[in-house]
Structure 1
Amino acid sequence: MTAGHESAGRETAGDEASGAGVTGHDDRAPVTGAWVTRFGLLYLGQNIAWAAPSQLLIAHQVAEWHPESKETYLAWLMAAGGVVSMVATPLAGVISDRTVSRFGRRSPWILAGALGAAAALVAMSVAGDYATLLVAWLLFQVTIAFAINATQTVPPDRVPQRQYGMVSGVMGLTYTFAVVAGTLVATVLPRTAAYLAAAVLLAVFTAQFLMGFREPPGHRGPDPVAMPAPQPARASPQGPMARVRHDYWWVFAARLLVTLAQAIALFYLLYFLRDRIEYPDPDSGVLLLTLVYAAAVLGTAVVGGRWSDRLRRRKPFIALTSYGLAVAAVTMAFAGSFGVVVVAAVVLGTSWGIYTAVDQALINEVLPDPDARGRDIGVMNLAVAAPNSLAPALAGLALTHLGGYPGLYLCAALLALVGGAVIRFVRTVD
C-alpha cells in the first residue's frame, strides 16, 4: 500500500514519513530516527560514489596515460564533468517533477540514477584510455545528478517543516563524512577494487532506503500531500507566492557568495602552507587541517540543524555562520604560524557545519512551487556548482592582483560577509 492510501497524518508500515493527506508542511507525520538513518545512508552512498574517483582515482589514471601533461588533461576532464553536471542537475529536477509512475516521482530516479552511476564506475575501473574514461565520467555525472537531485527533493516532499533542520544537518554530516570516506577508499584499496567498492556502496545504500520508502504515485498538478505552509500576513502589494520567489533568489545569492568564499579560501591551501607558513611537510599539514575541519563539521552539523528547528529560526544561523567564515578567512590572511591556521580550520569547520545544516533547511522553506521542487532544488544547486568551477580562476586573480595570500583571504572574507548580509532580505522565513 502506498502512502497515498493512508488517512491524514498516519504512517504506512513501510514509510514513516508519508504525511499523506495533510495540507501544511508542519502537519505531516514526523519522520522517525530509523527513516533519518536510512536517508542519511542513501546520501552517504551517493557522495562516496563521486568522492572516491574525483579525489584520487581519476588523477592517478590520467597521470599514467599522460605523465607530461597530466594537469592539463585532468583539468579538461573535470571541467567537462562540471559543465555536464550543471546542465544535468536542473534537467533532472524538471524530469522528476513531471514523472508519473506507480512508484512516485522521486523513487524511480533515485534507483535509475544509482544504477547508471554504478555502471559508469565499473566502466571507469576498466577504462584503458583517456577517451573511455572521459565518456564514463560524463555518464556518471549525468546519472548521479538524477539520483542526488531526487534524493534532495525527498525532504521538502515528505518531511515536516519542524524537522527540516535536523534532516538537513544529517545531509551536511554525511556529505562531509563521504568526502573523507571516499578518499580513504581510494587510498587503501587497489584502483579497480576502489571503483567497485564505491559502486557497491552506492547500490547497497540506495537499496536499503528504497525498500522502506513509499511515496504517492506520480501525478500532474499541485502536490496533494503537502501544499506550501501558510505564510504570515505582511503588508505588501505582492502576494505570498511572489514574496517566496523573491526569497528563493535571495537565498540563491547568499549561497552562491558564501560557497564561493569557502572555495576560494581552500583552493591554494597546499601552496599557502608551503610558501606563506613555510610548514616543513605541507602534504601532512593539509591532511591534518582536513581532519580538523571535517571533525568540526561533523560535530556541529546535526546539532546546528536541531537547534534551528527548536528555535524555529533560520536566518540568524545563516548570517552568523557566514560571518564565522569571514573570521576564519581573516585569520588566514594574517596567520604567521601553523597553530593559527589550525584555529582558523576549527572556526571554518564549525561555521560551515552549522551553515550547511541550516542552509538546506532554509532552501526547503523558500521553494516557490510545490509542484516543481525538483527543478527549483536543481537550480539552487547551481549556487554550489558554479563557485566550485569559478574558484580556481578567481583565486588566481586574487592572488596575483590583490597582494598575495592576504589579499586572497580578505577577498574570501568580503564575499562571506556580503553573503551573510543579503540573507536579511528574506522576508517569509525568520
Structure 2
Amino acid sequence: MTADEASARQQPLWFLFLLALAVAGGAVSYMPFLTVLLPVRINALTGTDDVAALSYATFAGAIVASLANILFGWLSDLSGSRRGWILAGLVISGAMLVSMTRAETLGELIAFLMVWQLGLNMMLGPLSAWAGDCVPDRQKGLLGGFFAFAPALGALSGALITIPGIADTQGRLWLIALIVAALVVPALVMGKGRAMPHLVRPRMADEADKPDSLRKRSVVVNMWVARLLVQIAEAALFAFLLFWLRSLSPDFSENKAANLFSLAVCIAVPVALITGKWSDKASRPLLPLSVAAAISATGLLAMAFSQSISLALAGYVLFGVASMTFLSLHSSQTLRVLPKPQHRGRDLGLFNLTNTLPSLIIPGLVISLVPGLGFSVLFMVLAALAVLASVLIAVFSKPI
C-alpha cells in the first residue's frame, strides 16, 4: 500500500462512535462519583458536609490521576498494545468503585480513591492513545464531535443514579460500574485489528527539516497552553456556577443550575459534530478551536456585564456550548499534532495535566478576586484567558 492509499483509508462511523462511547465511559465513571457520591460518602463518615475533607480527597486523587495518566500512557507505548491496559484499568477501577463503601475512615476512603484513580487512568490514558493509533487525520474533526457525547452522558448518568428510590449507595456504585463497562467493552471487542500501520510507524526527528519540526513543536506548546487556559475558565464555572447565579437571584435552585448545565452540554453535541465534520472537509482542523475560544470569551463578557438573570443565563449557555465544543475538538486534534507516534501515550498524559492543574489554580484565583471585586471581575479575567487561547491557536490555524 502506498502512502497516499494509506492516508486515504478511513474508519467506519460505527467504530468512531464506539471509541467515543468508550471515552464517555470515563466521564460516566468520574462525573457522578466525584460530584455526588463522594461528598455523600464523606458526609456518612464524618457526619458533616466536610469541605476540607472533600478538598483533601479530590486533591490526592488529582495528583494520582495526573501521574497515572502519564505512566500508563507511556507503558502502553512501550508494550505496543493499548487494549490490554484499557481492559485492566476498567476492571481495577470498577472493582475499587464498588468497594468505596468498605472504607470506614477518611484515610481509608482517600486510599481507595487513589487506587481507583490509578485504575481509571490505566484505562483512560491508553484509550486516548488508541484513538490516535486508529483514526486518520481526515476523520479527527468528526471524532472530536463524537467526543462531545462524553460530558453529556456523564451528566445524564448523574441524573439517572440520583433518581429517588432507584438504588441505595452501594447499588449506585454498582450501577455506575456496569454502565462504564457497557460503554467501554464494545470498542475493545469490535476494535480488534482496527489500527492503521501508517499512524503508528515510529517517526524520527530527522524525518522532517528543522524549520518544519520547530513549527510543529510550537503548535504542540500553543495547543497545550490554550487548553489549560480554557480549562481554567470551564472548571471555575463548573465549581462556582451556583454561587454566582444565587448572587444574581437568591432563590435560584440547585435543580435549575443542573438543568442549565445539562442544556449547554446537550446543545454542544450537535454543534461539535457539525463543526468537526466541517473542519475535516475544509482541512482547517485548528480554526474551529480558535473561533470556539473567542466565542467562549464573548459568553464570559456577557456574564460579567449582565444586569439581569436572563442575560446571565444566555451568556453562560453561550460560554458552555463554545467551551465544551472547544474541549471536545481539541482532544481529537491533539492526536494530529503530537510529533512522534511511538510516544503518543506519554505525550497525551502530559496534555492531560491541563485537566488536573486547574483544580490547583482555581481556588487561589477565585479567593483573590471574588470576595473583594466580585464575580464580574473574575469573568473578565477568564475572558482574557479565553482570548489568549484563541490567539495562540489562530497563529497556527492554517492547514497543518
1:180-191 map, 5 Å: 180-188=156-164, 189-191=167-169
Which amino acid is the alignment partner of residue 187 of structure 2? F
Match of 2:85 in 1: 109
Unaligned ranges ≥5, structure 2? none
The separation in 1 between residues aligned to 2:284 and 2:55, in whole angstroms, is 41
Match of 1:155 in 2: 131
Displacement of 1:290 in angstroms is: 1.2
Match of 1:292 in 2: 263
TM-aligned CA distance change 1:134 to 1:23, over 3 Å: farther
Unaligned ranges ≥5, structure 1? 1-7, 9-21, 218-222
Residue 274 in 1 paired to residue 246 in 2? yes
Q: Encode CA deviations 1:253-302: one digit per residue, 9 max, x unaligned.
A: 11111111222234322111222x12423323312321221222223121
Which amino acid is the alignment partner of residue 296 of structure 2? L
Displacement of 1:132 in angstroms is: 2.5
The separation in 2 between residues aligned to 1:106 and 1:62, in whole angstroms, is 35
Secondary structure of the 1:268 match is helix
Which amino acid is the alignment partner of residue 168 of structure 2? P
TM-aligned CA distance change 1:216 to 1:69, over 3 Å: closer
Which residue, 382, 396, 403 being the options, matches 2:353? 382
Residue 241 in 1 paired to residue 221 in 2? no
Displacement of 1:193 in angstroms is: 0.7
Match of 2:183 in 1: 205
Which amino acid is the alignment partner of residue 160 of structure 1? P
The separation in 2 between residues aligned to 1:359 and 1:63, in whole angstroms, is 37
Match of 2:317 in 1: 346
Which amino acid is the alignment partner of residue 22 of structure 2? L
Residue 122 in 1 paired to residue 94 in 2? no
Which residue, 412, 415, 418 being the options, matches 2:382? 412
Match of 1:371 in 2: 342
Contact kept? 2:200, 2:342, Cα under 8 Å: no
**Larger deviation: 324-333 or 181-190?**
181-190
Residue 325 in 1 paired to residue 296 in 2? yes
Residue 310 in 1 paired to residue 290 in 2? no
TM-aligned CA distance change 1:260 to 1:165, over 3 Å: same
The structure whose residues are more often helix, as a share, is 2
Residue 143 in 1 paired to residue 154 in 2? no
Contact kept? 1:126, 1:192, Cα under 8 Å: no
The separation in 1 between residues aligned to 2:316 and 2:275, in whole angstroms, is 18
The separation in 2 between residues aligned to 1:372 and 1:427, in whole angstroms, is 24
Percent identity over paired residues: 22
Contact kept? 2:155, 2:262, Cα under 8 Å: no
Contact kept? 1:30, 1:159, Cα under 8 Å: yes
The separation in 1 between residues aligned to 2:273 and 2:357, in whole angstroms, is 26
Displacement of 1:378 in angstroms is: 0.7
The separation in 2 between residues aligned to 1:427 and 1:203, in whole angstroms, is 37
Q: Encode CA deviations 1:11-45: one digit per residue, 9 max, x unaligned.
A: xxxxxxxxxxx757961631112212322222222
**Larger deviation: 368-377 or 255-264?**
255-264
TM-score normalised per structure 2:
0.91
Displacement of 1:56 in angstroms is: 0.6
Match of 1:94 in 2: 74
Displacement of 1:226 in angstroms is: 4.0
Which amino acid is the alignment partner of residue 129 of structure 2? T
TM-aligned CA distance change 1:366 to 1:224, over 3 Å: closer
Displacement of 1:57 in angstroms is: 0.6
TM-aligned CA distance change 1:182 to 1:109, over 3 Å: farther
Contact kept? 2:134, 2:194, Cα under 8 Å: no
Which amino acid is the alignment partner of residue 354 of structure 2? A
Contact kept? 1:92, 1:374, Cα under 8 Å: yes
Residue 131 in 1 paired to residue 107 in 2? yes
TM-score normalised per structure 1:
0.85
Match of 2:272 in 1: 301
The separation in 2 between residues aligned to 1:427 and 1:296, in whole angstroms, is 25
Residue 264 in 1 paired to residue 236 in 2? yes
Which amino acid is the alignment partner of residue 30 of structure 1? Q
Match of 1:19 in 2: none
Match of 1:18 in 2: none
Match of 1:335 in 2: 306
CA RMSD of aligned residues (A): 2.6
TM-aligned CA distance change 1:67 to 1:28, over 3 Å: farther
Contact kept? 2:283, 2:399, Cα under 8 Å: no
Displacement of 1:315 in angstroms is: 2.5
Match of 1:12 in 2: none
Q: Encode CA deviations 1:209-266: one digit per residue, 9 max, x unaligned.
A: 211122489xxxxx7654489xxxx9xx824333322211111011111111222234
**Larger deviation: 129-138 or 323-332?**
129-138
Which amino acid is the alignment partner of residue 117 of structure 1? S
Match of 2:26 in 1: 46
Match of 1:251 in 2: 223
The separation in 2 between residues aligned to 1:265 and 1:398, in whole angstroms, is 14
Contact kept? 1:25, 1:226, Cα under 8 Å: no
Displacement of 1:318 in angstroms is: 1.2
TM-aligned CA distance change 1:205 to 1:247, over 3 Å: same
TM-aligned CA distance change 1:24 to 1:94, over 3 Å: farther
Displacement of 1:359 in angstroms is: 1.1
TM-aligned CA distance change 1:79 to 1:155, over 3 Å: same
The separation in 1 between residues aligned to 2:361 and 2:305, in whole angstroms, is 24
Secondary structure of the 1:313 match is coil
The separation in 2 between residues aligned to 1:427 and 1:287, in whole angstroms, is 34
The separation in 2 between residues aligned to 1:328 and 1:266, in whole angstroms, is 15
Q: Encode CA deviations 1:158-197: one digit per residue, 9 max, x unaligned.
A: 1111100111211122233223323432454321111001
Which residue, 158, 174, 180 being the options, matches 2:150? 174
